[in-house]
């Protein structure tokens, strides 16, 4: 078994971006600027946003955080989105999900200028990705693709099973894995809560990508000997032995599954760290206007 070490790979990518930014700025380019909108006081969301902002500082980006109370109205939030759309200094921005229930996430996502949509959630970016056109790839799938690439994992002709069909992980992941390029060219099966014989389907996967949000759901009964296992899940579970009072768990029972897999991502220290790299890469592309003029 080999560990797909998100900590090491993301550090490598960040150092490449940092160097790229330094050269870009030295040659007269604008310093990349990523903004984030955070609504409410959800602990996990606060941690994710803080880590995105910290990463910006590390690699030489400007960052801005706009915080709003959970009772902000949808119209007020749309106004904030518009102000970032129109702010010429901001190259890209994200609206941290989930949003409070009274706000339509789709409406907010669609209001983001697709040229600044560095999370890759806008229908134009999703549609362009599906057509194989240049687009901001959604950050988590981008991070997984980069991990497979950097570990030189063979994908052509392999059976890739994705558990979960969410707009932000499962669906884009399934599309990227079937593309006619590397990593890709897989035969993809996408599964969800209504899938019958899930265990049997997963057991036939050469590459198993797990994104359902149920801690330690995947056990060796779901995994073929020698499979590549990518664990996207991040759930906080109560743990009185930790100072914070909680532990972070993935969707895969790592201790049991690691011995039967060829490659596996840990949680924490796996896909989560790669997701930030996707965001930073997209922001640099936005600054350089590599995808949209």
- Contact status: 135 vs ligand NAP (CB under 6 A): no
- Pick the binder of ligand NAP from 109, 135, 163, 252 (CB under 6 A): 163
Q: Min. distance of Cβ 273 from ligand NAP in angstroms?
A: 8
- Contact status: 120 vs ligand NAP (CB under 6 A): no
- Pick the binder of ligand NAP from 168, 223, 248, 279 (CB under 6 A): 168
Q: Is residue 2 annotated as part of the catalytic site, yes or no?
A: no
Q: Min. distance of Cβ 100 from ligand NAP in angstroms?
A: 16
User: What is the per-residue DSSP string for the chain?
Assistant: -EE--HHHHHHHHHHHHHHHHHHHHHTTPPPPEEEEEEES--HHHHHHHHHHHHHHHHHT-EEEEEEE-TT--HHHHHHHHHHHHH-TT--EEEEPSPPPTTS-HHHHHHHS-GGGBTT--SHHHHHHHHTT-S----HHHHHHHHHHHHTT---TT-EEEEE---TTTHHHHHHHHHSSSSS---EEEEE-TT-SSHHHHHHT-SEEEE-S--TT-B-GGG--TTEEEEE---EEEE-TTSTTSEEEE-SB-HHHHGGGEEEE--SSSSHHHHHHHHHHHHHHHHHTTSS--
Q: Min. distance of Cβ 47 from ligand NAP in angstroms?
A: 12
- The residue range among 34-42, 53-61, 99-107, 226-234 that interacts with ligand NAP, by the rule CB under 6 A, is 226-234
- Among 14, 91, 96, 158, which one carries the catalytic annotation? 96
- Contact status: 165 vs ligand NAP (CB under 6 A): yes
Residue 276 token pair: 């930030």
- The residue range among 27-35, 66-74, 100-108, 160-168 that interacts with ligand NAP, by the rule CB under 6 A, is 160-168
- The residue range among 76-84, 206-214, 253-261, 285-293 that interacts with ligand NAP, by the rule CB under 6 A, is 206-214
- Contact status: 183 vs ligand NAP (CB under 6 A): no
Please check whether residue 206 is in contact with residue 160, taking contact to mean a CB–CB distance below 8 angstroms: yes
- Pick the binder of ligand NAP from 10, 125, 140, 261 (CB under 6 A): 140
Q: How many residues bind ligand NAP (CB under 6 A)?
A: 25
- The residue range among 65-73, 83-91, 124-132, 168-176 that interacts with ligand NAP, by the rule CB under 6 A, is 168-176
Q: Is residue 158 annotated as part of the catalytic site, yes or no?
A: no
CA 282 to chain centre: 12
Q: Is residue 119 annotated as part of the catalytic site, yes or no?
A: yes
Cα 189 to Cα 93: distance, rounded to the nearest angstrom: 32
- Pick the binder of ligand NAP from 32, 92, 120, 164 (CB under 6 A): 164
Cα 145 to Cα 274: distance, rounded to the nearest angstrom: 10
Q: Which residue is nearest to ligand NAP (CB)?
A: 166
Please report how many Cα atoms fall inside a 13 Å half-sphere around the Cα of residue 124, on the Cβ side.
13
- Among 117, 119, 206, 231, which one carries the catalytic annotation? 119
- Contact status: 174 vs ligand NAP (CB under 6 A): no
Residues making contact with ligand NAP (CB under 6 A): 140, 163-166, 168-170, 191-195, 198, 211-214, 232-235, 271-272, 275
The residues carrying an active-site annotation are: 52, 96, 119
């Amino acid at each position: 078994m080999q560990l797909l070490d998100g900590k090491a790979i993301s550090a490598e990518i960040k150092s490449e971006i940092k160097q790229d930014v330094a050269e870009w700025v030295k040659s007269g380019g604008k310093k990349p600027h990523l903004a984030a909108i955070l609504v409410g006081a959800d602990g996990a969301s606060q941690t994710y946003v803080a880590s995105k902002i910290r990463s910006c500082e590390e690699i030489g980006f400007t960052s801005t955080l706009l915080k709003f109370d959970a009772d902000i109205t949808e119209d007020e939030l749309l106004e904030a989105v518009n102000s970032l759309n129109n702010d010429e200094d901001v190259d890209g921005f994200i609206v941290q999900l989930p949003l409070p229930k009274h706000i339509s996430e789709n409406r907010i996502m669609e209001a983001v200028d697709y040229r600044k949509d560095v999370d890759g959630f806008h229908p134009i970016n999703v549609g362009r990705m599906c057509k194989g056109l240049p687009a901001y790839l959604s950050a988590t799938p981008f991070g997984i693709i980069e991990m497979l690439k950097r570990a030189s994992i063979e994908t052509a002709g392999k059976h890739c099973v994705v558990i979960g069909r969410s707009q932000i992980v499962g669906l884009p992941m399934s599309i990227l894995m079937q593309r006619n390029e590397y990593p890709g060219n897989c035969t993809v099966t996408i599964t969800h809560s209504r899938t019958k014989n899930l265990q049997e389907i997963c057991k036939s996967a050469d590459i198993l990508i797990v994104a359902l949000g149920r801690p330690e759901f995947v056990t060796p009964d779901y995994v073929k000997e020698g499979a590549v296992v990518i664990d996207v899940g991040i759930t906080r579970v109560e743990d009185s032995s930790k100072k914070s009072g909680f532990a972070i768990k993935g969707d895969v029972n790592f201790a049991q599954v690691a011995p039967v897999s060829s490659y596996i991502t840990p949680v924490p220290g796996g896909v989560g760290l790669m997701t930030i790299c996707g965001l930073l890469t997209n922001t640099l592309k936005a600054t350089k206007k590599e995808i949209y003029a």
